[in-house]
Amino acid sequence: MTKKQADVREIVLDMLIETCENGMYSHLVLSAVLQKYQYLDVKQRKFMTRLFEGTVEYQLQEDAVLDRYSKVKTNKMKPIIRNILRMGVYQLLHMDSVPYSAVCNECVKLAKKRGFAGLSGFVNGVIRNIARDKDNIHFDSLSELYSVPEWIIDEWYKVYDKQTVNNILHGVCQRKGLSIRCYQSRIDCDDFFSHLERQGVTVKRNQYILDAAWISDFENVESIYGYREGYFQIQDSSAMYPAIISGVKDGFNVLDVCAAPGGKALQFADLLKESGKVEARDISEYKIQLIDENIFRSGMKNIDTVCMDALCFDENSKEVYDIVLADLPCSGLGVIGKKSDIRYRIMKKDIENLSEIQRDILSIIWQYVKPGGTLIYSTCTISKMENEDNVKWFTDNFPFVLEGFENFIGDLNDAATSKDGYLQLLPGVHNGDGAFMAKLRREA
């Protein structure tokens, strides 16, 4: 396919097949495609990104609509047809700028182009029926409305009231721009953000984290002033709090046991003002490479990487570190607004298995903390089993106590439990993704 012949909708269809049918992660698929098609203009890239991410995000809702208007249910459709129709439904319901005639024509054209001319009439009929009845479409549940599986919502109802669950679901659908953190040890943050604004980038400063902001209205992140110079790191605001609450001081020795892609470890290095030392570990050479790339771009000198499985005890690390960060593998339910396919991949049994893995890691890495030192336990999920329950299990079985950190987070809204040593951040309630953190001090 030449540059002039690139069909954005056909590219999106291929991306959907990779993600929805072949099990590839949506953010990796999107990143690879944006890299491949850099020659597309900004408008095309934005359309492609929104159509792909939106179709993946609203897959549950799209399938519910299709099942009402099609005699053939979505799970019985051919994968190509199923994903063409999903694209069509997303455009009809969520992209008002696209005329329904264009949606219909492009879906039919795609079906024919992919060898399904015999089903083009079926595609045409389904899309037209939905378009004609668009104003009468309603959703029978929060699951359909927000395109979040029912079991996840039920789990949240066990912990939160109806209004809070509604806020979470609404927050998952919000788009605030790209969250970044400025490296304080490298550049003055006020000057940096002012420079971005002069470039035409829209900057919304984070009211709780002074070196952070959400940015939008730029072509691509690599083109932004300061990216190649290593003046900022892409990082959600909720992911910044584990380092902030740790109380890290100049000269501290810090270990991040599951560090990729390195944002939190580099934040520690920045807060140390290039004093002390940070060791960033992860399980594979691929993940270490991701961390190394971010270290190289940042220019930080007080951080090293080591390829090591957190489930393997390291005798040389025993009681060495002032702070150990255990940002452990989790179900990721706090980041489904960005990585939409997680909601369709994760199952309840996976949460139980992940909770056990988290405990297995914690039962090893606690030994790396100096007596009197700090262990930060964090996840990017909204799951009591992985979060509060694991902290309770840990303090019951190991010589650690929860330590309040309310003085480190300012007037962050609805953060009352921070005085007790833990905090669950929620989309739609707090700024940013859902995340959990607990601060634990070793007593012996």
- What is the 3-state secondary structure of the chain? CCCCCCCHHHHHHHHHHHHHHCCCCHHHHHHHHHHHCCCCCHHHHHHHHHHHHHHHHCHHHHHHHHHHHCCCCHHHCCHHHHHHHHHHHHHHHHCCCCCHHHHHHHHHHHHHHCCCHHHHHHHHHHHHHHHHCHHHCCCCCHHHHHCCCHHHHHHHHCCCCHHHHHHHHHHHHCCCCEEEEECCCCCCHHHHHHHHHHCCCEEEECCCCCCEEEEECCCCHHHCCCCCCCCEEECCHHHHHHHHHCCCCCCCEEEECCCCCCHHHHHHHHHCCCCCEEEEEECCHHHHHHHHHHHHHHCCCCEEEEECCCCCCCHHHCCCEEEEEEECCCCCHHHCCCCCCHHHHCCHHHHHHHHHHHHHHHHHHHHHEEEEEEEEEEECCCCCCCCHHHHHHHHHHCCEEECCCHHHCCCCCCCHHHHHCEEEECECCECCCCEEEEEEEECC
CATH topology assigned to domain 237-442: Rossmann fold (3.40.50)
pLDDT tens for each residue of the chain, 444 residues long: 444 446 999 999 999 999 999 999 999 999 999 989 988 888 898 899 999 999 999 999 999 999 999 999 999 999 999 999 999 999 999 998 889 899 999 999 999 999 999 999 999 999 999 999 999 999 989 999 999 999 999 999 999 999 999 999 999 988 778 999 999 999 999 999 999 999 999 999 999 999 999 999 888 888 899 999 999 999 999 999 999 999 999 999 999 999 999 999 999 999 999 899 999 999 999 999 999 999 999 999 999 999 999 999 999 999 999 999 999 999 999 999 989 999 999 999 999 999 999 999 999 999 999 999 999 999 999 999 999 999 999 999 999 999 999 999 988 877 889 999 999 999 998 888 999 999 999 997
Distances (CA, A) of 362 to 110, 424, 437: 50, 19, 14
Closest to 151 (Cα-Cα) out of 343, 435, 387, 384 = 343
Rg value, the chain, Cα = 23
Q: What is the pLDDT of residue 2?
A: 43
Q: Which two tokens stand for residue 226?
A: 């300061």
Distances (CA, A) of 294 to 123, 158, 265: 45, 39, 10
Please, where in the chain does CATH 1.10.940.10 lie?
8-135
Q: What is the pTM of this model?
A: 0.93
Please, where in the chain does CATH 3.40.50.150 lie?
237-442
**CATH label, 178-234, candidates 3.40.470.10, 3.90.550.10, 3.30.70.1170, 3.40.640.10:** 3.30.70.1170
CA distance 104 to 127: 6
| Arch. (CATH architecture) of 8-135 | Orthogonal Bundle (1.10)
Q: What is the pLDDT of residue 413?
A: 75
Please, where in the chain does CATH 3.30.70.1170 lie?
178-234
Q: What is the pLDDT of residue 3?
A: 45
Q: What is the pLDDT of residue 173?
A: 87
Q: What is the pLDDT of residue 1?
A: 41
CA distance 181 to 176: 15
Q: What is the pLDDT of residue 433?
A: 94
